Amino acid sequence: MISDITAARDAALAHIAQASSPDDVAAMTTRYAGKKGELAGLKKQLGSLESIDEKKAAGAAINEAIATVDAALDERRTAVAAAAVAAQVEAERLDLTEYIGKPARGHAHLVTQAWERLEDVFVGMGFRVAEGPEVETDWHNFEALNMGEGHPARGEFDTLFVDHVAPGGQPGSTLLRTHTSPVQIRTMLDQAPPIYIIAPGRVFRRDTPDATHMPVFHQIEGLVVDRDISMADLAGTIDAFTKAFFGKSWSSRLRPDYFPFTEPSAEFDIQRPDGSWIELGGCGMVHPNVLRAGGIDPEEYSGFAFGFGIDRMALMRHGVDDLRAMYADDMRFVEQF
Ligand code: DAH
């Protein structure tokens, strides 16, 4: 009897030592411990023993075996639970080690880079950055800029109209802004002079994409309104900008031109160090009608404005000859910069 008990105990201990999961330990607890366990089952055989001494000795051996097996189960349960936690921690571990070497980093879009540099330069010159909506009213985009209904200059804008009628508005009076100039109007209506703002932004025209045109492109507008602002201030600002943005050996000039929202109006060109000229944008003294539309008295204040395309500046800077490449998201192109 005693040897049966010892054998059962040793078999149980050997088995328990191999338990590798909480489930294993639970199954073995049912099998070896408890009232219906294998060792408890041996107790039933005690009745077949002849002598009292033998019964006592066997009973004591069974109790001791049960206690030993219980202790082994407890120990195994704790060890297996700790291992399970360690495995989970390892599996869910976050690698927070600093990356050493050259990380695969992207960069801002070339137009965004140009946009941000323009902002930096103008902010450095004392301008504030203003914004306006991309979906505009006919009034802000044309009318208030001295292009009333039927003005021939409207035709040059290839306007995209939006199928939406603003409350109290006329059908066909909501559009995608064709230039950043409506931000001039919104800024004047928003704040009293002195005004020194630039407004970079996205603009839209009904154009077929080609090497130099996209239906969605970017412009930057400038507006200054203050007392005693003259054409000399405009020319000086354009030249200071040219030197700050392109370099000290660049210069600029104004050529007479026509825009409905400025009078007089000019085209401004910049000159490369090699002497060649590049046409950059339009500018002029803000037309009195435009100041009035913005709620500003033209007898008291005067101002100048300018506007030019950002996309072409990005093209020029990087020597890219097709605007469409800028928007094709081809990694072979993007990764060159
Ligand atoms: N809004 C004009 C365009 O899109 C550009 C422009 C010309 C802006 C003259 C101005 C300006 O502020 O004074 O073609």
Ligand 1 neighbourhood includes 314 CB (under 6 angstroms): no
Distance in angstroms (rounded) separating the CA atoms of residues 201 and 319: 23
Question: Mean pLDDT of all residues in the chain?
Answer: 92
Distance in angstroms (rounded) separating the CA atoms of residues 64 and 285: 106
Distance in angstroms (rounded) separating the CA atoms of residues 234 and 285: 8
Q: pLDDT tier at 59 (50, 70, 90 boundaries)?
A: confident
Q: Which atom of ligand 1 is nearest to the CA of 306?
A: 12
Ligand 1 neighbourhood includes 305 CB (under 6 angstroms): yes
**Over the stretch 265-316, which tens digit does the pLDDT of each residue have?**
999 999 999 999 999 999 999 999 999 999 999 999 999 999 999 999 999 8
pLDDT for 151 equals: 93
Tally of CB atoms within 10 A around 318: 14
Res. 35: pLDDT tops 90: no
Q: Is the pTM of this model over 0.75?
A: no
Q: Residues 47-55: contacts with CB within 8 Å, 24+ apart?
A: 49/1, 54/1
What are the domain boundaries of the chain?
2-92, 110-334
pLDDT for 98 equals: 77
pLDDT for 34 equals: 73
Mutation choice for ligand 1 from 198, 205, 261, 265, CB with most ligand atoms inside 8 A: 261
Closest C-alpha to 201, from 300, 293, 115: 115
In a 3-state reduction of DSSP, which class is residue 315? helix
pLDDT for 53 equals: 85
Ligand 1 neighbourhood includes 284 CB (under 6 angstroms): yes
**What's the order of all strands across the beta sheet hosting 216-226?**
128-129, 195-204, 216-226, 302-309, 277-286, 262-271, 251-259
Retrieve residue 100's tokens. Answer: 């050493």
Buried b (16+ CB within 10 A) or exposed e, 54-79: eeeebbebbeebbeebbebbeebbee
pLDDT for 191 equals: 97
Res. 177: pLDDT tops 90: yes
Ligand 1 neighbourhood includes 294 CB (under 6 angstroms): no
pLDDT for 95 equals: 80
Place of tokens 């219980």: 70
**Over the stretch 224-251, which tens digit does the pLDDT of each residue have?**
999 999 999 999 999 999 999 999 999 9
Q: Whose CA is nearest to atom 7 of ligand 1?
A: 282
Q: Tell me the CATH class for 110-334.
A: alpha beta
Tell me the percentage of the chain whose pLDDT exceeds 90: 61
Closest C-alpha to 117, from 316, 330, 255: 316
Kindly give the pairing relationship between strand 128-129 and strand 195-204.
Answer: parallel
Q: pLDDT tier at 45 (50, 70, 90 boundaries)?
A: confident
Q: pLDDT tier at 49 (50, 70, 90 boundaries)?
A: confident
Instruction: Identify the residue with better confidence: 217 or 53.
Output: 217
Cβ atoms of 46 and 55 closer than 8 Å: yes
DSSP code string of 43-80:
HGGGGG--SHHHHHHHHHHHHHHHHHHHHHHHHHHHHH
